[in-house]
Amino acid sequence: MGGTAGLGLSAARACVAEGARVVAIGRDSEVAAAAQSTLGEQAHVMTGDATNPEVAARAVSEAVKRFGGLHGLYHVAGGSGRRMGDGPLHEISDEGWAYTMNLNVTSVFYSNRAAVRQFLAQGTGGTVLNLGSILGVSPSPHYFATHAYAAAKAAIIGLTRSAAASYAKQGIRFNALLPALVDTPMAQRAMNDAEVMKFIATKQPLEGGRAGKVEDLDAAAVYFLSDDSRFATGQVLAVDGGWSVTEGQIPGK
């Protein structure tokens, strides 16, 4: 879910390169067409909204029909609710809260539920990887005070770990990746703010201090989606350039 641009498309390319056959989903038909061209014949790209419960079920059915079964799910779909009213707790609108939770938590529930139902029906086990955010565990209030988003990303960790505990006996694994600031379409507010980027240079100090690139998460995604991680479940891995262990320096402070 969310596999036609940014982190999702990069991971899909990496999985295809390793021999996987992929069903990728995105909301925009033109973006989806471009992704199909990029991914080639080993992938089938669909359009759909991850907040619609029917879309995840349809994607799973498509994978079963085309490829004979489902072995892994990577849920990337989500995004900022800032323009809808997310922000510091005392400023969040009811609409902003509902929108952000629906986009970032309910969509994960729909896709994870659809995947588990298929894994159980197959009796094969499987792997689920959910994309969270470092903001769910390591806040940064000066530039990134969107509390509904942080709460949503923390909820993904709770769902991932509790599901990992519940379904381990069936061979169904759940893990999560936590990026910090990555140069994606969603991140352009920060990427185009010189002051924020000075902060990022100190908050994400690896490789000289920079924003993440989408491909920085590819190896971790391939690992968790493959049998290489067959003995790992309930794990939450930060791929954050050092964000979670670094103070960061606010310019002028």
Distance CA 210, CA 198 (A): 9
Distance in angstroms (rounded) separating the CA atoms of residues 209 and 231: 33
Q: CA 75 → CA 3, 206, 220, distances in Å?
A: 8, 26, 14
17 touches 218 (CB < 8 A) = no
The pLDDT value recorded for residue 3 is 77
Q: Which residue has the tokens 């381990």?
A: 168
Q: What are the tens digits of pLDDT across the range 34-93?
A: 999 999 989 999 999 999 999 999 999 999 999 999 999 999 999 999 999 999 999 999
pLDDT band for 163, please (50, 70, 90 cuts).
Answer: very high
For the chain, the first-to-last Cα distance in angstroms comes to: 40
Domains of the chain (ranges plus CATH)?
A: 6-245 (3.40.50.720)
Average pLDDT over residues 92-110: 97
Q: For residue 64, which of 110, 25, 19, 115 has the smallest C-alpha distance?
A: 115
Task: Please give the model's pTM, rounded to 2 decimal places.
Answer: 0.95
Most confident segment among 1-5, 22-26, 166-170: 166-170
Q: Is 167 a catalytic residue?
A: no
- The whole-number average pLDDT for the span 162-170 is 98
Q: Could you read off the pLDDT of 195-245 as tens digits, one per residue?
A: 999 999 999 999 999 999 999 999 999 999 999 999 999 999 999 999 999
How large a percentage of the chain has pLDDT more than 70? 100
3 state DSSP class of 212: strand
Among candidate residues 74, 99, 149, 167, the one labeled active-site is 149
Tokens linked to 109: 């529930």
